[in-house]
Structure 1
């Protein structure tokens, strides 16, 4: 068992902290098909409908059902972000293996599709409109680099944001046994505020990941 600060991010460091948490949402998914409608399920379906409309606007008329992919991606990341807030459960989205596995295939499929089906548009996208002739080679290089680092920025952004909040909660929790009664109350209040912030970060990062993937697809 790891004894350092990053042991919370090791999927083998605890009994329940394992990769099974990554697939638990798939196991619970069929429940929504036979569960009686309630207020929470209605709100969730309305949220997914709003996301579907927004992603449809970003993708344009040639969406061809692609919004289902990005709505599912948002739901998957959001579920794992929330699941990681519970004790003794491994946060799968804080691991680069998971985030890269989500970002890299999407990015590669977008690049492959654009260069095979829309070769002219893909070449034109490397040089922005109005670029002087002398700067065109540099702009092509910059655009190529920006395209190639997109999966890295997508995956690192999600993993880093999930790691940062959990590290703060762990650091504050480790100070409890060494503090006085008044300090413990302040630590508990800080942890509650950080937990509320982590709930917000879990939602925002899921939305940012899905929205950026949609924007990359629309290009």
Structure 2
């Protein structure tokens, strides 16, 4: 029985009183080893092209001074978020990326590690970021406060952006689906068409939001070098 409207995103899956909802995040890990035992299919080739494109773009964003292999953490982050976003489009599957527990767990350690690395290794560079070039002397204290606050809220904005976009579409799909019982057959057919169109939109949102999360994390990392 639903206690509130958002309970539809939390299907109860328990065995011996152990909550198994979060296991949906690790389903993809069970499927990965099989790709090493078969000839490359069109899906493998397609995914390899996506990975190579992401690698080139993240390498450009990080700059020539970035460490070798630093792009792979952001490609892995993109893959994890994309997989969980698409999982949430299937009925009765727990959508982990629509909860701040998941998104903050991804955003906060990344941002914290960037800040610790930047302030310990490039302290002068980090201080220079607090005052944009060409700022008048009178406005410098205010700019330091504004830049500090904008830097502090970065993990929160990353997490809330992903969570809000995932919840918004799923909530609209749920509300539209719950009205089907009281509609006529003609309106139900229109509702199904609207649901299919909205599902296609949600698929695009799942890709875009995972890309935005990974790109913004890459930009935050490039600022500390």
Same fold (TM over 0.5): yes
TM-score (norm 2): 0.93
What does residue 38 of structure 1 align with?
Answer: 41
What does residue 208 of structure 1 align with?
Answer: 212
1:58-92, Cα deviation, whole Å (9 max, x unpaired): 00112211100000000000000011111100111
Question: Within 2, Cα distance between the matches of 1:96 and 1:35?
Answer: 37
* Alignment check: 8 A CA contact 1:103 1:151 kept: yes
What does residue 113 of structure 1 align with?
Answer: 117
Consecutive unaligned residues of structure 1, counting only runs of 5 or more, are: none
1:147-182, Cα deviation, whole Å (9 max, x unpaired): 000000000000000000000100010000011111
What does residue 47 of structure 1 align with?
Answer: 50
Question: Within 2, Cα distance between the matches of 1:8 and 1:151?
Answer: 27
Question: Within 2, Cα distance between the matches of 1:202 and 1:67?
Answer: 21
| Equivalent pairs, count | 219
Question: Within 2, Cα distance between the matches of 1:142 and 1:19?
Answer: 37
1:3-36, Cα deviation, whole Å (9 max, x unpaired): 4321122253789971110111222222222232
Consecutive unaligned residues of structure 2, counting only runs of 5 or more, are: none
* Alignment check: 8 A CA contact 2:78 2:211 kept: yes
* Alignment check: 8 A CA contact 1:165 1:198 kept: yes
Question: Within 2, Cα distance between the matches of 1:35 and 1:92?
Answer: 30
Question: Within 2, Cα distance between the matches of 1:140 and 1:9?
Answer: 41
What does residue 171 of structure 1 align with?
Answer: 175
- Superposed structure 1 runs of 4+ greater than 4 Å apart: 13-17
For the pair 1:180 / 2:184, whether they are aligned, the reply is yes
SS of residue in 1 equivalent to 2:66: coil
Question: Within 2, Cα distance between the matches of 1:39 and 1:180?
Answer: 43
RMSD: 1.6
Match of 2:97 among 69, 83, 93: 93
TM-score (norm 1): 0.96
Q: Which moved more, 1:188-197 or 1:27-36?
A: 27-36
What does residue 18 of structure 1 align with?
Answer: 21
**Cα deviation, residue 102, structure 1:** 0.3
For the pair 1:158 / 2:162, whether they are aligned, the reply is yes
For the pair 1:134 / 2:138, whether they are aligned, the reply is yes
